[in-house]
Copies of this chain bind each other. A is one copy, B any other.
Amino acid sequence: MNDKVTMLHEQSTETAEPSPPSAKGGKAEEIASRIEADINTGLLATGSWLKQINLERRYGCSRIDVRQALESLTARRLVHRIPNRGYYVSEFNERRLRDVAEVRVILEVAAVDDIIDRATPASVYELGDLAEAFNIALNKGDRIDQNNANLAFHGAMLELCTNRELVRSIMDLRRSVPVPVQKIWTSEERVRNAADEHLLMVKAIERHDRPFLRRLVANHIAYYEPAEWLDRHEWKLG
């Protein structure tokens, strides 16, 4: 009883971060990624139950792996859990979608400063390529390709950010809402609109035009209600 504290107080034998031998492992992580992918393709629709038996057959893995993967996705709010009932793909009402979009605008607009400060001609060139790749995927690829191209463009833009926690928060938010319910992909016009805005963003970065890039980013995320949004947050767009 009296050794509880000492038992808990196991200092790491290595003083520094024990990260060197960090092999990337964990089968559960792989299963989580595959479930996430199937959610994003629409194979697993929002609201559908994720029965452990089906998943363990589908992905050819153990029950434990399925449970850990589902728990991981639950922590990322992509699926929801009801104890003794099971897991199901999270559902999104308009309110929640709007709230997530608003937080994304707040964070991604805040990232504009670093992006413009640290942009080099090389990175501008790379961003131009990725914007072009999105255009190509728009014409020749399926929605998966388009989504990947979109993520690649925005990921490269965020790579310019020095604040890794900011980037992580943005990425977490992006991945917390399944692709099929993201409004960008609901109409051809919106996707083309996004492609145009990508090109404008690259030019804004090239010109170091902060206010314009802020407006572009805000519009890009919350473009389905830009008037209301831009009205509410006008003061912080510079």
Q: Is A43 an interface residue (CB 8 A)?
A: yes
User: Do A58 and B7 touch (CB < 8 A)?
Assistant: yes
Flag A18-32 by CB within 8 Å of B: 1 or 0 each: 110111111000000
Q: Is A107 an interface residue (CB 8 A)?
A: yes
User: Do B165 and A103 touch (CB < 8 A)?
Assistant: yes
Residues of chain B contacted by A165 (CB below 8 angstroms):
96, 99-100, 102-103
Query: In this complex, what residue of B is CB-closest to A84?
Result: B25
Residues of chain B contacted by A140 (CB below 8 angstroms):
none
User: Do A166 and B91 touch (CB < 8 A)?
Assistant: no
16 A-B pairs in the complex with CB atoms less than 8 angstroms apart? A8-B43, A9-B48, A11-B45, A11-B48, A12-B88, A17-B47, A22-B83, A23-B82, A25-B83, A25-B84, A68-B71, A71-B75, A75-B75, A99-B164, A103-B165, A103-B169
The 10 nearest A-B residue pairs measured at CB: A25-B83, A75-B75, A99-B165, A236-B236, A106-B110, A99-B163, A12-B47, A100-B165, A10-B49, A103-B166
Q: Is A238 an interface residue (CB 8 A)?
A: yes
Q: How far is the CB of A8 from chain B (nearest CB, A)?
A: 6
User: Do A43 and B10 touch (CB < 8 A)?
Assistant: no
Which A residues form the contact surface with B (CB < 8 A)? 4-5, 7-12, 17-19, 21-26, 38, 43-45, 47-49, 51, 54, 57-58, 67-68, 71-72, 75-76, 81-85, 88, 91, 96, 99-100, 102-103, 106-107, 110, 113, 163-166, 169, 173, 232, 235-236, 238
Query: In this complex, what residue of B is CB-closest to A90?
Result: B17
CA distance A49 to B14 in the complex (A): 10
